[in-house]
């Protein structure tokens, strides 16, 4: 009988037949007996063995203990959550906030050609430092002309004083002449009664007296006009005469325009967009040459929602975090809150009385004063107040957190229920 070789792979731990006697013994297969040979199970891999062990460990008792533990923790979680809700809500935070600083477009009120530019782009300047100069020649000429006009005005005033003194002298002479004419006229009047003089001589004396009296009145009038030109007083100093003051004002204006050809920094800061001008470029009056941004005085302009300002007041402490410097905090104070919403200052404010009105939560501008001399958090914060602290630049995005000191408290319905219960008792 032929030996039937089994196709099933033996298990790894099964010992092979080693004796020759066992190999040579005849065997009767189950196939010869009409039976199907049994198939042995495949060996179990370590992965499936670990899964089987874990499944065996999951017993109904362990699940019940886990469920009991979760139910026991639920009241603690509710109590902790309720405590957090009641005692929280004292900090109002918003990310609609940006760093602001004093910034001005550097310009001058005189026109001229740019002669020199003494700064470079993004350079830090001090207050009073020269930024650029215009060609001063035309303004120097105007100043010299105004000074010459001032000197001429002083000479004219002195000449008016001399002329007034001459007019007074002429008036006195004419007064004496009128006195003589009156004596002659009175004499001829007496002689005419005795026919000692002719009627013609009498008429001539009368005419001479009246003519000299008219001339005297004219001289007095001219002297009064000259005195008015002298400001009502012949002893008025030249430097106080109106014409002199007018000429002096022209000199001052010419000097001011000459001084404004040299443009200086109004405050300490950083200049930017300096390459927009260059020597030789003509700048009209009030034309912005470049910009100056302050670095010593910065603040935060925040725009919280109107519903977030319920307990926010001026003077409350503020914590400021800047997106550029994560992990670093600045401290400040609520300086002021705008008296009106931002949309009130728009060119076309919303018409809330229209029929298609939709309620929108408004934002109220709030200004935060930042203490730039102190910071906290991180390695950079340890050097707060030193030279290594990073600068705050205008336009940076920040987040502000205002400590209102007012906790959220119990919900209104809980307070109402407690009040009702207290009243019923």
Output the pLDDT for position 188. 84
Structural domain count of the chain: 3
Asked, for residue 43, whether it belongs to a domain, the answer is no
- Which has the closest alpha carbon to 158: 229, 224, 222? 229
298, with CB counted inside 10 A (0-12, 13-18, 19+), is buried
Residue 268 CA to residue 293 CA, distance in Å, equals 8
Find the CATH number of the domain harbouring 363.
Answer: 2.40.30.170
Output the pLDDT for position 184. 87
Q: Is the pLDDT of residue 387 over 60?
A: no
Q: Please indicate, yes or no, whether residues 128 and 275 belong to a single structural domain of this protein.
A: yes
Asked, for residue 224, whether it belongs to a domain, the answer is yes
Q: Is the pLDDT of residue 78 over 70?
A: yes
Reported as a single tens digit per residue, the pLDDT across 142-175 is 999 999 999 999 999 999 888 888 888 888 888 9
Find the CATH number of the domain harbouring 120.
Answer: 2.40.50.100
**Please, what is the average pLDDT of the chain?**
81
Q: Please indicate, yes or no, whether residues 322 and 174 belong to a single structural domain of this protein.
A: no
Q: Please indicate, yes or no, whether residues 162 and 210 belong to a single structural domain of this protein.
A: yes
Output the pLDDT for position 300. 95
Q: Please indicate, yes or no, whether residues 95 and 176 belong to a single structural domain of this protein.
A: no
Q: Please indicate, yes or no, whether residues 282 and 332 belong to a single structural domain of this protein.
A: no
Q: Is the pLDDT of residue 28 over 70?
A: no
Output the pLDDT for position 334. 95
Q: Are 99 and 392 in contact (CB under 8 A)?
A: yes
Q: Please indicate, yes or no, whether residues 303 and 397 belong to a single structural domain of this protein.
A: yes
Q: Please indicate, yes or no, whether residues 164 and 131 belong to a single structural domain of this protein.
A: no
Q: Is the pLDDT of residue 17 over 60?
A: no
Q: Is the pLDDT of residue 425 over 70?
A: no
- Which has the closest alpha carbon to 408: 308, 328, 337? 308
Asked, for residue 15, whether it belongs to a domain, the answer is no
Q: Please indicate, yes or no, whether residues 214 and 316 belong to a single structural domain of this protein.
A: no
What is the span of the domain harbouring residue 402? 91-101+298-350+358-413
Q: Please indicate, yes or no, whether residues 345 and 387 belong to a single structural domain of this protein.
A: yes
Asked, for residue 65, whether it belongs to a domain, the answer is no
Question: Residue 40: CB partners within 8 Å, gap ≥ 6?
Answer: 8, 11
Asked, for residue 78, whether it belongs to a domain, the answer is no
Q: Are 312 and 366 in contact (CB under 8 A)?
A: yes
Q: Please indicate, yes or no, whether residues 309 and 407 belong to a single structural domain of this protein.
A: yes
Output the pLDDT for position 52. 62
Token pair in block for residue 316:
């409350």
334-370 exposure pattern, b = at least 16 Cβ within 10 A, e = fewer: beeeeeebeeeeeeeeeeeeeeeeeeeeebbbbbbbb
Asked, for residue 280, whether it belongs to a domain, the answer is yes
Reported as a single tens digit per residue, the pLDDT across 304-333 is 999 889 889 999 999 999 999 998 999 999
Q: Please indicate, yes or no, whether residues 209 and 314 belong to a single structural domain of this protein.
A: no
Range in 118-132, 147-161, 181-195, 393-407 with the lowest mean pLDDT? 181-195
Q: What is the pTM of this model?
A: 0.63
Residue 329 CA to residue 374 CA, distance in Å, equals 9
Radius of gyration for the alpha carbons in the chain, expressed in angstroms and rounded: 54
**Contacts by 23-28, CB closer than 8 A, 24 or more apart:** 26/1, 27/3, 28/1
Q: Is the pLDDT of residue 384 over 50?
A: no
Residue 10 CA to residue 22 CA, distance in Å, equals 17
Q: Please indicate, yes or no, whether residues 233 and 377 belong to a single structural domain of this protein.
A: no
Output the pLDDT for position 6. 45
Asked, for residue 321, whether it belongs to a domain, the answer is yes
Average pLDDT over residues 64-87: 74
DSSP 238-281: GGGSHHHHHHHHHHHHHHHHHHTTEEE-SSSEEEE-GGG--TT-
Q: How confident is the model at residue 1 (pLDDT cuts 50, 70, 90)?
A: very low
Q: Give the highest mean pLDDT range of 318-322, 342-346, 351-355.
A: 318-322
- Which has the closest alpha carbon to 143: 249, 238, 241? 249
Reported as a single tens digit per residue, the pLDDT across 239-266 is 889 999 999 999 999 999 999 999 999 9
Reported as a single tens digit per residue, the pLDDT across 80-110 is 777 666 666 688 899 999 999 999 999 999 9
Residue 218 CA to residue 232 CA, distance in Å, equals 19
Reported as a single tens digit per residue, the pLDDT across 203-242 is 888 899 889 889 999 998 988 888 888 888 888 888 889 9
Range in 33-37, 100-104, 275-279, 414-418 with the lowest mean pLDDT? 33-37
Reported as a single tens digit per residue, the pLDDT across 266-289 is 999 999 999 999 999 999 999 999
- Which has the closest alpha carbon to 104: 137, 75, 127? 127
Output the pLDDT for position 21. 39
- Which has the closest alpha carbon to 320: 333, 310, 305? 333
Residue 119 CA to residue 130 CA, distance in Å, equals 8
Average pLDDT over residues 40-49: 61
Q: What is the DSSP letter of 128?
A: T
Residues in the chain, overall count: 425
Output the pLDDT for position 344. 82
Asked, for residue 401, whether it belongs to a domain, the answer is yes
């Amino acid at each position: 009988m032929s030996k039937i070789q089994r196709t099933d792979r033996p298990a790894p731990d099964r010992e092979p037949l080693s004796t020759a006697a066992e190999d040579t013994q005849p065997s009767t297969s189950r196939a010869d007996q009409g039976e199907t040979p049994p198939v042995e199970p495949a060996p179990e891999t370590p992965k499936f063995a670990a899964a089987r062990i874990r499944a065996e460990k999951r017993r109904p008792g362990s699940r019940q203990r886990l469920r009991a533990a979760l139910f026991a923790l639920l009241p603690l979680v509710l109590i902790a959550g309720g405590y957090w809700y009641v005692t929280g809500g004292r900090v109002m935070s918003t990310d609609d906030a940006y760093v602001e600083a004093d910034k001005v477009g550097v310009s001058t009120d005189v026109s001229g050609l740019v002669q020199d530019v003494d700064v470079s782009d993004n350079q830090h300047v001090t207050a009073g430092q020269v930024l650029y100069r215009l060609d001063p020649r035309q303004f120097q000429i105007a100043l010299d002309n105004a000074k010459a006009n001032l000197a001429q005005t002083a000479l004219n005033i002195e000449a008016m004083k001399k002329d007034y003194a001459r007019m007074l002298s002429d008036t006195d002479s004419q007064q004496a002449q009128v006195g003589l004419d009156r004596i002659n006229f009175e004499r001829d009047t007496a002689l005419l009664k005795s026919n000692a003089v002719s009627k013609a001589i009498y008429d001539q004396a009368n005419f001479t007296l009246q003519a000299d009296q008219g001339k005297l009145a004219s001289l007095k009038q001219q002297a009064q006009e000259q005195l008015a030109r002298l400001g009502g007083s012949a002893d008025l100093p030249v430097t106080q005469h109106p014409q002199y003051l007018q000429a002096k004002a022209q000199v001052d204006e010419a000097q001011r325009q000459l001084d404004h050809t040299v443009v200086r920094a109004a405050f300490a800061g950083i200049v930017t967009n300096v390459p927009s001008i260059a020597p030789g470029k003509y700048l009209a009056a009030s034309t912005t040459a470049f910009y100056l941004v302050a670095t010593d005085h910065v603040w935060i302009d925040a725009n919280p929602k109107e519903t977030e300002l319920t307990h926010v007041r001026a003077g409350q402490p503020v914590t400021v975090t800047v997106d550029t410097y994560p992990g670093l905090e600045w401290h400040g104070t609520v300086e002021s809150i705008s008296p009106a919403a931002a949309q009130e200052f728009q060119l076309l404010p919303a018409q809330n009385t229209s029929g298609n009105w939709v309620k929108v939560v408004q934002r109220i501008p709030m200004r935060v004063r930042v203490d730039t001399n102190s910071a906290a958090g991180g390695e950079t914060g340890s050097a707060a107040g030193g030279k290594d602290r990073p600068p705050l630049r205008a336009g940076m995005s920040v987040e502000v957190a205002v400590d209102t000191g007012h906790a959220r408290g119990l919900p209104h319905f809980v307070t109402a229920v407690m009040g009702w219960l207290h009243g019923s008792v």
